[in-house]
């Protein structure tokens, strides 16, 4: 099954592809900057692990148990910083 993109990722991919064609390969300076920004945003999102991955897809049969858990680290082993602000006290 092909990997599905989120709405934001689809939009960024569209703008990046259009910016590549009209800005980098074409002569539009505005589309060139759109390409640069969208490329940077997608690379940062990939680096910090904000992209969701399909981990498992299957059928749960009667009598089977599906346990869902959340780890505080990415699959590469780097810990993920909390998005909550810590209260200084």
**38 pLDDT tier (thresholds 50, 70, 90):** very high
CB-based contacts of 73, cutoff 8 Å, min separation 6 = 79, 80
What is the count of structural domains for the chain?
1
Q: Which of 24, 48, 46, 47 is nearest to 35 (CA)?
A: 24
* Residue 32 within a domain: yes
* Residue 27 within a domain: yes
* Residue 29 within a domain: yes
User: 27: domain range?
Assistant: 7-48
pLDDT of residue 1: 47
* Residue 31 within a domain: yes
* Residue 82 within a domain: no
- Please classify residue 16 by burial: count the beta carbons closer than 10 Å to its beta carbon, then call 0-12 exposed, 13-18 middle and 19+ buried: buried
5 token code pair = 């993109």
pLDDT of residue 51: 61
Centre a 10 Å sphere on the Cβ of residue 72 and count the other Cβ atoms it contains.
8
* Residue 81 within a domain: no
CA 37 from chain center: how many Å?
A: 15
């Amino acid at each position: 099954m092909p990997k599905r993109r989120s709405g934001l990722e689809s939009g960024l991919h569209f703008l990046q592809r259009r910016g590549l064609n009209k800005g980098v390969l074409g002569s539009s300076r505005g589309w060139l900057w759109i390409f640069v920004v969208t490329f940077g945003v997608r690379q940062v999102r990939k680096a910090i692990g904000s992209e969701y991955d399909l981990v498992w897809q299957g059928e749960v049969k009667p009598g089977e148990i599906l346990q869902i858990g959340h780890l505080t680290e990415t699959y590469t082993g780097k810990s993920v910083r909390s998005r909550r602000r810590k209260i200084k006290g």
